[in-house]
Amino acid sequence: MIAGISAADLALLVGGLLAFLLAATGIGRMLQLRYSPDGSNAVVENLNDRIRSWWIMVVLMGIALMGGQAGITLLFAFCSFAALREVMTLQDIRRSDHWALLAAFFVALPAQYYLIYTEWYGLYSILIPVYAFLLIPIIAVLRGDTEGFLMRVAGVQWALMICVYCTSHVPALLSLDIPGYEGRNVLLIAFLILVVQTSDVAQYVWGKLLGRTRIAPNVSPSKTLEGLIGGALSAILIGVALSWITPFTPWQAGLLSFVIVMLGFLGGLVMSAIKRDRGVKDWGHLIAGHGGMTDRMDSVIFAAPVFFHLVRYGWSVT
């Protein structure tokens, strides 16, 4: 039980994901036969690329789950690393930022995840907002380059908060101590990720089917009100349906899903605004069909800390 996962829960999770992916792959194949036999329909090809990437992501998540708490923490540490690499690539970095960035990648990131692993809530909650916040500009100023100083240190701090601090609240869910829910915390991660990703996928599908009214034409032209409402309702429905794997009642699961969906949506908008400002479409090319790690994670990033704290205050005794 050190792993925080029981065999029955593991089988349930893996079985459920496999069934879902098999269904998605079958549908993708049918669409391809029907609409894109020669590979010419970009939407269908992108959908199949995404499904193939989902297989890889699910297999990686499966391997991490077998590694228990250490495996899951390592997996998200790697996600943070890849996301931070993407976000820093798009910033204006000067040679004099070299040490500050080394500190961000090779000190702050591993330290944060080590503290998450040892469940030291008091320190991991402030490591980046306080200590990295003070130390990174100190390291930067020692190189003596003042040009664009505030922008540069703010950029590093922001990237650390988004890619490392917020993301690390996903594996932090394993450390919560909820009476009557011992050893099942990994299902909280599953709940969070399933609701967020359902919302992303459903917004995309509803947007393609019914999308008319653009919500933020200047930031993300593909986001529509119809997509948002359809996606949010679908995700809340999934959240309520999943309440039996959580410590929440169906009502509570629905409300938490609503919070997750809205933060995920707004987080996606924020990240789009940055991409648009930097003149790129995707953060990277790590995941075929999806773009970069940050493109896949943006909604999770914004939802994770809030979900963590709501559950911690409402249900946990730690």
Site of interaction with another protein (CB under 8 A): 81-82, 84-86, 88-93, 95, 98, 101-102, 105-106, 277-280, 284-286
Residue with smaller CB distance to another protein, 126 or 138: 138
**Shortest distance, position 137 Cβ to another protein, whole Å:** 17
Residue with smaller CB distance to another protein, 29 or 278: 278
Residue with smaller CB distance to another protein, 49 or 119: 49
**Shortest distance, position 271 Cβ to another protein, whole Å:** 15
Residue with smaller CB distance to another protein, 187 or 286: 286
Residue with smaller CB distance to another protein, 171 or 284: 284
How far CA 220 is from CA of 55, 273, 303, in Å, comes to 27, 8, 19
Residue with smaller CB distance to another protein, 84 or 160: 84
**Shortest distance, position 196 Cβ to another protein, whole Å:** 24
**Shortest distance, position 106 Cβ to another protein, whole Å:** 8
Max CA pair span of the chain: 62
**Shortest distance, position 156 Cβ to another protein, whole Å:** 11
**Shortest distance, position 108 Cβ to another protein, whole Å:** 13
**Shortest distance, position 87 Cβ to another protein, whole Å:** 10
Residue with smaller CB distance to another protein, 119 or 282: 282
